[in-house]
């Protein structure tokens, strides 16, 4: 659960996210990179965007729904990270609602670990190993685990 994270973990994630936010058009760039990695791991998830597995990733990336959702995902992640401080308890409620909403989109709980791996790989690739060191990586794994736990829990209710 999100409320169980340490101050140090939250600070590490917030600090590294600020580096991501300093990239021009970071929502588009990071979101696109993230979802390309995700769809490589979970090609069947393409159906959520109205594509079949046989459609190329290039076709998917050029589609308006993909582009909009990739940027929107990063914007939502940005908001969630911003709530890790004083609004952390409210974040759990928001994630629960978001989890329920994703059921109607066809998002399966099994997709969350792949999204986590995609997020970690995208952050590491974008920031580089020096800025995204083992400690920072572990903090992100913990935070993503907590965020996704609340969403998955809501999906199973």
- In the predicted model, is pLDDT for residue 27 greater than 60? yes
pLDDT at position 6, please? Answer: 87
What's this model's pTM, rounded to 2 decimal places?
0.90
pLDDT at position 98, please? Answer: 92
pLDDT at position 59, please? Answer: 80
Helix extents (H) in the chain = 7-21, 26-41, 57-62, 64-82, 88-105, 111-131, 134-155
pLDDT at position 135, please? Answer: 98
- In the predicted model, is pLDDT for residue 1 greater than 70? no
pLDDT (tens digit, 9 = 90+) per residue, 85-139?
Answer: 777 788 888 999 999 998 888 888 999 999 999 999 999 999 999 999 999 999 9
Residues in the chain, total: 157
Structural domains of the chain, ranges and CATH numbers in brackets = 2-155 (1.10.490.10)
Q: Alpha-carbon distance 42 to 92, whole Å?
A: 26
Cα end-to-end distance, the chain, whole Å? 16
Confidence of residue 13 (pLDDT cuts 50, 70, 90): very high
Longest dimension (CA), the chain: 45
């Amino acid at each position: 659960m999100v409320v169980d994270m340490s101050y140090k973990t939250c600070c590490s994630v917030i600090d590294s996210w600020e580096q991501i936010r300093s990239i021009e058009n970071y929502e588009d760039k990071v979101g696109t990179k993230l979802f390309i990695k995700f769809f490589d791991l979970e090609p069947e998830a393409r159906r959520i965007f109205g594509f079949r597995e046989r459609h190329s990733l290039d076709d998917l990336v050029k589609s308006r729904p993909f582009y909009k959702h990739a940027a929107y995902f990063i914007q939502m992640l940005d908001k969630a990270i911003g709530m890790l401080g004083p609004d952390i308890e409210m974040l759990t409620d928001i994630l629960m609602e978001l989890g329920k909403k994703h059921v109607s989109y066809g998002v399966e709980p099994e997709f969350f670990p792949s999204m986590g791996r995609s997020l970690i790989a995208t952050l590491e690739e974008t920031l580089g190993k020096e800025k995204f060191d083992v400690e920072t990586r572990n903090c992100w794994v913990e935070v993503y685990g907590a965020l996704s736990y609340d969403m998955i829990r809501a999906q199973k209710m």
